[in-house]
Structure 1
């Protein structure tokens, strides 16, 4: 087990990545994108389709960051409740953003079908599972707001939720049939393949060390080469490092870890998530769980990896699913989430022709795919603006203290839950 703890199930089970090289020499394109995650790859794919010459420069490998490490829930909308969204950016802007992301799963699964992306795509909906009285009240509130906006969601009572989840630990669940699950790293690699087919240029292991303005645009420098372009998109989100470190001051990085079990037996799979929905709960320190194609239970929670997290996960899963008795974990991995102050993604125009997209706050698959497509349409003159806010983000005060607060809070919660279970 110790040998496998630092390994990701997604890396172990994803189709082979496209063969890419590092950036060498000088290249000229219309747009250069820094970051090979969902947003950058979607933008590159759609720009190439529209005849915009585009290059993606990735510091590690395609999907290395949060895009290849997340839970894989292709949800509609954002974390914010719809009414809170309207309150934050105004009713008119809120409706535009809500409407754009309500159909985000259609966009994701449409690309999967169009390009034949092999990513374990399963569209059986997702369940937001209620825990305690506060959780039920939250789901009732979300349900009312979503139905008022025409969403085809269902609020399940305790018996219905427990039957769908296969556990008696939840008193309700909000079912969204628009959503589903994917293998996230496989989806990122599939987007990269699609972008290459459309004519985009992609480079890996090419960290950017400097970005400079030129008389007719910008130039980004790596150790091996440089790209000259009219426009630059920084699409690094929570992995803003190397030459884009200053963007990291705009959000709080939150660690989220996951563990994957050995494949479950047929008898266990008959009762645990029999319809194969993805699930996350209403707890303040959220956890998530789902199944992969091999029948492994993938369980996640806020906080960094380690024995406290794995012990808590084992106890939590045992409480939810007594049929599992003792859980054996094969994989454990950690990713980072970029929490913006308002929990909304933003596209900032830092200078003329220099853009930065960040702040998905844990909801990146659908929004990242949609925002990438919108950027392409915007640059091609096919739309006047983006659905997400384009206001400049301020540096978050006491960012490191806030990160530590989240991390210590999650760690304390896991220890407390583990101790409670031993009493």
Structure 2
């Protein structure tokens, strides 16, 4: 999404410091981080705390991209179930990735506590909701797989799911007590502030136009200024903006939109997600569900509410609200916004080496908060201290995606058609 943030709830409700200057002169550093999202801010914080000189450049504002448009679910892993991960990359590499991301929520909530980040952090778990009988069978399989890898998952029946959600729309749920929710933009900006407090130098509205390595150092060109660095992390993910000399965008951008009501009354909220869990469902065209600190109900779904299908996605959100909570039918949404996800064909994140002491990190496929925090921290240590084995995935020299534009159009068309013509089935 490239539009303004006028209707983005997270932009309106965060309370983080926004006083970040633009780059105004030439400078040299140990580590240059390009991109001020979860990954970049986590990398800058780790590097600064480790004693390195760090500069972070953000083309817009901290959290402008997916980190400021995220649902806010702090998940302990990827969208793929464990068996799919090990099938794709092997048992050893798969367990390395699974184990690294299993502790992602531990890292996120520890950083929130250590740095006093005001981001509505709630660690009451998440619920993966079965939208159908087949969805419940999928959750039963995920439950067995997760437990085999040590995940403390709990499979909930339909009635327990009603108690947890306040909705009779679901056939059951998979509860992950390791996970939780945050206000994602506030968390991202809190990471940035922690990095500044540790000594990192952050610059907003400082888009990098070109990067190059001269045999000794990297040079980034920024509006007539130069940043020279020994090490470089490219952490723009789905919001890479055509930097000359950088790797090409090897992912498919997929949009996800969210719709938030005004704060609901205590009476309305009495039975809706009383435990404060964040949720998403098993539908192919996925939906999400959560409550924020002020009691707003937030429903999300695949599709771009800032695109040509905006009216269709908005009407879908109205119907989805009525399906989940019939007593709230007709309640207007006061906020609607969209963000882009960097989707890879295998739904696995990538770490690419594209030059001396340079890494590009992308492809969380919709799981940015925990994985982005983990990958950023470990990428900084890999570059500064040679700890490549600490990365959740092996570093690759190259990666490519075919038919990116047609596939992006296909995903959006599929979401529009599903939201326009597919009936919302009631649970029998």
Please tell me the TM-score bracket, short chain as reference.
Answer: over 0.9
Q: 1:318 aligns with which of 295, 311, 322?
A: 322
Q: Is residue 144 of structure 2 the alignment partner of residue 144 of structure 1?
A: yes
Equivalences for 1:332-371 in 2 at 5 Å? 332-371=336-375
Deviations 1:130-163 (A, max 9, x none): 0112201110110000011111110001111121
Over 3 Å counting, the alpha-carbon distance change for 1:313 and 1:247 in structure 2 is farther
The corresponding residue for 2:61 is: 61
TM-score, normalisation: structure 2: 0.95
TM-score, normalisation: structure 1: 0.96
CA–CA distance in 2 between the matches of 1:115 and 1:366? Answer: 17
The corresponding residue for 2:311 is: 307
CA–CA distance in 2 between the matches of 1:127 and 1:419? Answer: 20
> Are 2:353 and 2:398, in contact at CA under 8 Å, matched by a contact in 1?
no
Deviation at 1:242, TM superposition (A): 3.4
The corresponding residue for 1:399 is: 404
CA–CA distance in 2 between the matches of 1:398 and 1:388? Answer: 25
Deviation at 1:417, TM superposition (A): 3.4
CA–CA distance in 2 between the matches of 1:353 and 1:383? Answer: 12
> Are 1:62 and 1:188, in contact at CA under 8 Å, matched by a contact in 2?
yes
Moved more, 243-252 or 171-180: 243-252
Secondary structure (helix, strand or coil) at the match of 2:399 reads coil
Moved more, 163-172 or 376-385: 376-385
Q: Is residue 109 of structure 2 the alignment partner of residue 105 of structure 1?
A: no
Runs of at least 5 residues in structure 1 that lack an aligned partner in the other structure: none
The corresponding residue for 2:395 is: 390
> Are 1:240 and 1:247, in contact at CA under 8 Å, matched by a contact in 2?
no
Q: Is residue 86 of structure 2 the alignment partner of residue 86 of structure 1?
A: yes
Over 3 Å counting, the alpha-carbon distance change for 1:141 and 1:311 in structure 2 is same
Deviation at 1:328, TM superposition (A): 1.1
User: Which contiguous aligned blocks of 4+ residues in structure 1 show a shift greater than 4 angstroms?
Assistant: 244-248, 418-421
CA–CA distance in 2 between the matches of 1:405 and 1:393? Answer: 25
The corresponding residue for 2:223 is: 223
CA–CA distance in 1 between the matches of 2:232 and 2:415? Answer: 36
CA–CA distance in 2 between the matches of 1:384 and 1:12? Answer: 39
Moved more, 379-388 or 80-89: 379-388
Deviation at 1:249, TM superposition (A): 3.1
Equivalences for 1:198-347 in 2 at 5 Å? 198-243=198-243, 247=247, 249-305=249-305, 306-347=310-351
CA–CA distance in 1 between the matches of 2:224 and 2:315? Answer: 44
Deviation at 1:419, TM superposition (A): 8.9
Secondary structure (helix, strand or coil) at the match of 1:406 reads helix
Secondary structure (helix, strand or coil) at the match of 2:22 reads coil
CA–CA distance in 2 between the matches of 1:274 and 1:133? Answer: 25
Q: Is residue 36 of structure 2 the alignment partner of residue 36 of structure 1?
A: yes
> Are 2:318 and 2:329, in contact at CA under 8 Å, matched by a contact in 1?
no
> Are 2:157 and 2:172, in contact at CA under 8 Å, matched by a contact in 1?
yes
Secondary structure (helix, strand or coil) at the match of 2:173 reads strand
Over 3 Å counting, the alpha-carbon distance change for 1:67 and 1:380 in structure 2 is same
Deviations 1:330-367 (A, max 9, x none): 11111000001211111100122221000000001001
Q: How many residues align?
A: 418
Deviation at 1:418, TM superposition (A): 6.1
CA–CA distance in 2 between the matches of 1:5 and 1:42? Answer: 23
CA–CA distance in 2 between the matches of 1:82 and 1:105? Answer: 17
Deviation at 1:405, TM superposition (A): 0.7
Deviation at 1:271, TM superposition (A): 1.0
